[in-house]
Every structure is written in structure tokens, then in C-alpha cells.
Amino acid sequence: MPSIFAYQSSEVDWCESNFQHSELVAEFYNTFSNVSFFIFGPLIMFLMHPYAQKRSRAIYGISALFMVIGLFSMYFHMTLSFLGQLLDEISILWLLASGYSVWLPRCYFPKFIQGSRYYFSCLVITTTMISTFLTFVKPTVNAYALNSIAIHILYIVHKEYKKTRNGDLRHLIEVSVILWATALTSWISDRVLCSFWQRIHFSYLHSIWHVLISITFPYGMATMALMDANYEMPGQTLKVHYWPRDSWFIGLPYVEIQDNDKSC
């Protein structure tokens, strides 16, 4: 039985040809496309610093987890090892759990939680710990299970989209969904249509997934921050900005908290 550290010990192998550009890197483009995680992660920490100081410093941990995902994904695609696969998938699982704990509106909590974010966080952590052990049971289905969580996230986002008249929030939701759908299409195409992409010598869709999903993350974070503000920060207004300039057609979103001077 091969070691879990061994190259190609994972049952998962993506469409890109192995060891084509280096004897040490199994999937060259799938490995180095994760650089975007190390660019956007620190940038998000910097841009969201004022928000984190006023709302929750947990955003630093979430951004750090985002970079950990990039690191473990890089390790997995470099080695295609079983350990790399599990580290990659488990880090994604914990990132999603962290986002749920910090930003899920209380109105979507299970009724027996009675609106307590502390108890909800305990429930999420317990469920995530159990799910972490389950990742060892059938590793080949882990990625599909993780993507299925998006169904619940889309349900929440759809409900909030219908509720709000906030133009910034609606725009963020629209762009986030488009980016995620495009990224998921790349991910599925790489898995399902690999023979076609190999025939036309374009087997790099999984690396495109990495770049697109890393861009989706800042949009998703800003979206959740605005949704959270509607429930948890009624006396304050969040303003959406885009780096490097608001006037640019494309930019990374971030939010600033503005005190509401109006009194009831």
C-alpha cells in the first residue's frame, strides 16, 4: 500500500497531463494557479481591516484559512498525494464552517438554537469535526459533497436577494453568483469532458477554476458582510468600495462601516 505522502497516491487526478513541465510538479498549471490565493488573501485582510475592527476580527482567521486552502491545493496538485487531497478538502470545509458561524443570519438558525450565535457556532464546529472524519471514508466524493453545500448557500442568497432593495448588495450577489457558476462550470468540464479538452490540447480548466474561485471569495465575503449588517448592525451603514479604484470597471470589493448619525 503506497504511503499517503507518496506522489500520485490519491485516487483523484485532474485533466492536466502529469509531470509534463517538471519531474517534481505533477500538475504544473493546477499547482501555480493557486498563487492568486496568496495575492487576494493578504489584500482582503488589509482592505477589510476597518470592518474587522468594528464588527468581528474573525475575518482575519477566515482570510488566513483562504490562504491555507491555496497552500494545501498547491501541495496536492504538485504531488497528487492522498494527504494533499485531504488537507485541501478539509481546509475548504473549515473555511465554509467559519463563514457560516460568523455571517449566517440568525433567522436561518435551527429553531432549537433559539437565535444564539454561540450555540449555533458550537453546532457548526461539531458538525464540521464529524464531517472531517467522514472525509476519510470515501475520499473520491469529498469534492462533490463540498460543492453541494453551495445549494444551501444559494438558497440563503436567493432569499436575501428577494428581500433587499440595497443596490450594492444586489450587485454583489449577482456578480458572486455569476463568478461561482462560471468557476463551477470550469470544474465540472474538467472532470466530465476531459477527453475533449485533451484532444484540443486545452486541459487547464481546473487551473481556471482556481483563479475564478479565488476572485469569487472577496465578492462572497463582501456579500455576507452586507447581509450580516442588515440584521446585526441596524444603527450603521456599510459602504461598498472596490480596489484599486471605485471607478474602475473591475475591482475587488470591500466594505467600510459608516456611523449612522440619525437618531430615532
The answer on whether 147 is annotated among ligand-binding residues is no
Let me know if 264 is exposed, middle or buried by CB neighbors in 10 A (0-12, 13-18, 19+): exposed
Contacts made by residues 170-174, CB under 8 angstroms, sequence distance 24+: 172/219, 172/222, 172/223, 172/226, 172/240, 172/253, 173/223
Residues of 81-98 as b/e, b for ≥16 C-beta within 10 angstroms? bbbbbbbbbbbbbbbbbb
The DSSP-derived string for 223-261 is HHHHHHHHHH-TTEEEEEEEES-TTSSS-EEEEEEEE--
Distance CA 218, CA 47 (A): 10
Q: Which residues pair with 252 in a beta bridge?
A: 243
The answer on whether 77 is annotated among ligand-binding residues is yes
DSSP structure class, residue 11: S
The answer on whether 23 is annotated among ligand-binding residues is no
End-to-end C-alpha distance for the chain, whole angstroms = 69
The answer on whether 201 is annotated among ligand-binding residues is no
The answer on whether 27 is annotated among ligand-binding residues is yes
The answer on whether 14 is annotated among ligand-binding residues is yes
The answer on whether 210 is annotated among ligand-binding residues is yes
Question: How far is CA 221 from each of CA 25, 40, 95, rounded to the nearest angstrom?
Answer: 32, 12, 11
Binding residues for Zn(2+): 77, 206, 210
Binding residues for Ca(2+): 13-14, 16, 18, 27
Binding-site members are: 13-14, 16, 18, 27, 77, 206, 210
